[in-house]
């Protein structure tokens, strides 16, 4: 079935009645801008995408040869630049929102669709995708510039793999929260009268969370830049280490409680007065404790030990979580590096790099001992600076 208009749509929908209704809505659109091509299976859609170019895809999440979110990766892989609007029943709304997080641009609840809603969703999906494509173009331009700079610095060994890592960070860690912001803002703008107060608060929370993630990422990148250029300041003060460590435990307790984890702190040895940089210590211990909680299994234990020695102090953070594959441990302290088994657990890959640079700045050492499925122990040794 083909109707001659200018914006070309691929509809993947096995329900013929729904397909006819959508076609009728597009026929009624005053702008007369749409061409609709209808297929009933994912396999047919992939074949169609290999032959023709489309402006937007309408995807039903329940198909004879594909169910739920499993339809998204093949479509995105086949046509990464084409925006996708998912079609769902009312009880599938949470699944549809997850689909947007995984790469779709918008979703429509079938029973709520009318001419205006359908046309507006298609246009906004195309606009959002264009924004993301513009970002991709910027990334490609940045990559070209980084490659040029790499060629200049390679002989002096000043780059240390920053090119590909930085481009990867932009394309993934910034694009995903940006997509979330665009989606939530669009929903608030276009469905304001129909959204409940709770829904509006949820969308605003999505926006705040995405902005917070982007701000944290920028702060971490800035910190890495300062460390690499030798601009980390030192503000040494006399610190009660045991009290400080107990304070760090309290600061992460809420995070641990969300996973029903038990935090155990123990102090050993003689802890004489010494000078410490509180900011650097906070970066080290905050990242190690947060990681131990993040990668622990619910209901487990995180153990934090403070050990005083004659000329040094040892901080040990141990968990019984997912562990780190042996092949990943050598590059664990490099920026933007994460273990292969983290799955969907969020993270930027900068925390351990920051911890390592803070340890190095104080003339210390950090080592990791880990086994997949058993757990991980980080041990930090810092020399004493006597008062």
- Between CA 197 and CA 168 the distance in angstroms is 37
Q: What is the pLDDT of residue 101?
A: 86
* Residue 358 pLDDT > 80: yes
DSSP per residue, 202-254: HHHHHHHHHHHHHHHHHHHHHHHHHHHTT-----EEE--HHHHHHHHHHHHHH
- Between CA 66 and CA 61 the distance in angstroms is 8
Measuring CA to CA, how many Å separate 25 from each of 127, 195, 250, 275?
21, 23, 57, 72
Number of helices (H), then strands (E), belonging to the chain: the values are 12, 14
CATH classification number, 236-383, choose in 3.30.565.10, 3.90.550.10, 3.40.50.300, 3.40.50.1100: 3.30.565.10
Containing 84, the helix (H) or strand (E) segment is strand 84-88
159-229 shares the fold of 7-113: no
* Residue 139 pLDDT > 90: no
Work out the average pLDDT over 100-118: 87
Question: What is the band of 46 on the pLDDT scale with cuts at 50, 70, 90?
Answer: very high
Give the list of residues 6+ apart from residue 323 with CB closer than 8 angstroms, or none.
341, 370, 371, 372, 373, 374, 375, 376
**SS3 (DSSP) at 110:** helix
Q: What is the pLDDT of residue 230?
A: 67
- Between CA 128 and CA 105 the distance in angstroms is 7
Tell me which residue has tokens 């211990």: 285
Work out the average pLDDT over 212-219: 69
Task: Identify which has the larger pLDDT, 215 or 318.
Answer: 318
Decide: residue 369, CB within 10 A, 0-12 exposed, 13-18 middle, 19+ buried. middle
- Between CA 86 and CA 110 the distance in angstroms is 10
Q: Which CATH class, in words, describes the domain spanning 7-113?
A: alpha beta
Least confident of 60-64, 148-152, 315-319, 339-343: 148-152
Task: Identify which has the larger pLDDT, 131 or 98.
Answer: 98
* Residue 5 pLDDT > 50: no
- Between CA 340 and CA 324 the distance in angstroms is 8
Work out the average pLDDT over 35-41: 92
CB 232 within 8 A of CB 355: no
Least confident of 14-23, 68-77, 118-127, 173-182: 173-182
CB 54 within 8 A of CB 19: no
CB 23 within 8 A of CB 38: yes
- Between CA 304 and CA 179 the distance in angstroms is 38
Domain locations in the chain as residue ranges:
7-113, 159-229, 236-383
Strands (E), 289-350: 301-308, 312-319
Task: Identify which has the larger pLDDT, 269 or 189.
Answer: 269
Reported residue count of the chain is 387
Work out the average pLDDT over 155-183: 59
DSSP for residue 386: B
What whole-number percentage of the chain has pLDDT above 70?
A: 84
**Per-residue pLDDT reduced to its tens digit, 60-97:** 988 999 888 899 999 999 988 899 999 888 767 778 78
Given phi > 0 = left and psi -120 to 50 = alpha, else beta, which region is 238?
A: beta
Task: Identify which has the larger pLDDT, 172 or 264.
Answer: 264
Task: Identify which has the larger pLDDT, 197 or 234.
Answer: 197
Least confident of 106-120, 151-165, 276-290: 151-165
**SS3 (DSSP) at 85:** strand
Q: What is the pLDDT of residue 1?
A: 46
Work out the average pLDDT over 25-37: 82
Q: What is the pLDDT of residue 152?
A: 65
Q: What is the pLDDT of residue 351?
A: 81
* Residue 375 pLDDT > 80: yes
Mean pLDDT (the chain) is 83
Decide: residue 328, CB within 10 A, 0-12 exposed, 13-18 middle, 19+ buried. middle
Residue 123: how many CB atoms within 10 A of its CB? Answer: 14
Work out the average pLDDT over 192-219: 75
* Residue 272 pLDDT > 70: yes
**SS3 (DSSP) at 50:** helix
Residues facing residue 318 across a β-bridge: 303, 377
Task: Identify which has the larger pLDDT, 275 or 224.
Answer: 275
Q: Which CATH class, in words, describes the domain spanning 159-229?
A: mainly alpha
């Amino acid at each position: 079935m083909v109707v001659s208009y200018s914006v070309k749509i691929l509809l993947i929908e096995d329900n013929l009645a729904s397909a006819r209704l959508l076609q009728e809505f597009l026929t009624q659109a005053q702008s007369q801008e749409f061409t609709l091509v209808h297929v009933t299976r994912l396999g047919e859609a992939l074949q169609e995408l290999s032959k023709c170019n489309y402006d937007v895809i309408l995807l039903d999440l329940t198909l004879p040869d594909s169910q739920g979110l499993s339809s998204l990766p093949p479509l995105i892989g086949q046509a990464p630049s084409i925006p996708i609007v998912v079609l769902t029943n009312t009880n599938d709304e949470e699944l549809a929102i997850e689909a947007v997080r995984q790469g779709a641009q918008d979703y429509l609840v079938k029973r709520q669709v009318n001419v205006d809603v359908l046309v507006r969703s298609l246009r906004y999906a195309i606009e959002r995708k264009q924004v993301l494509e513009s970002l991709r173009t910027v990334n490609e331009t940045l990559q070209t510039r980084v490659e040029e700079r790499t060629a200049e610095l390679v002989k002096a060994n000043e780059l240390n793999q920053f090119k590909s890592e930085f481009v990867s960070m932009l394309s993934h860690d910034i694009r995903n929260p940006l997509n979330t912001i665009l989606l939530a803002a669009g929903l608030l703008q276009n469905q304001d009268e129909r959204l409940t107060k709770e829904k509006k608060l949820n969308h605003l929370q999505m926006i705040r969370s995405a902005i917070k993630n982007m701000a944290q990422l920028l702060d971490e990148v800035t910190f890495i830049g300062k460390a690499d250029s030798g601009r980390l300041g030192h503000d040494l003060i006399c610190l009660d280490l045991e009290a400080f460590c107990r304070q760090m435990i309290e600061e992460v307790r809420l995070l641990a409680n969300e996973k029903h984890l038990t935090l155990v702190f123990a102090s050993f040895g003689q802890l004489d007065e010494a000078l410490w940089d509180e900011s650097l210590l906070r970066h080290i211990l905050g990242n190690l404790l947060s990681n131990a909680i993040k990668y622990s299994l619910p209901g487990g234990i995180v153990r934090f030990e403070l050990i005083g020695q004659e000329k040094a102090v040892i901080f040990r953070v141990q968990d019984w979580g997912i562990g780190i594959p042996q092949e990943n441990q050598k590059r664990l302290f490099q920026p933007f590096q994460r273990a292969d088994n983290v799955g969907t657990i969020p993270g930027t890959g900068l925390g351990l790099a920051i911890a390592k640079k803070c340890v190095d700045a104080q003339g210390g050492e950090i080592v990791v001992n880990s086994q997949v499925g058993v757990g991980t122990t980080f041990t930090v040794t810092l020399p004493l600076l006597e008062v």
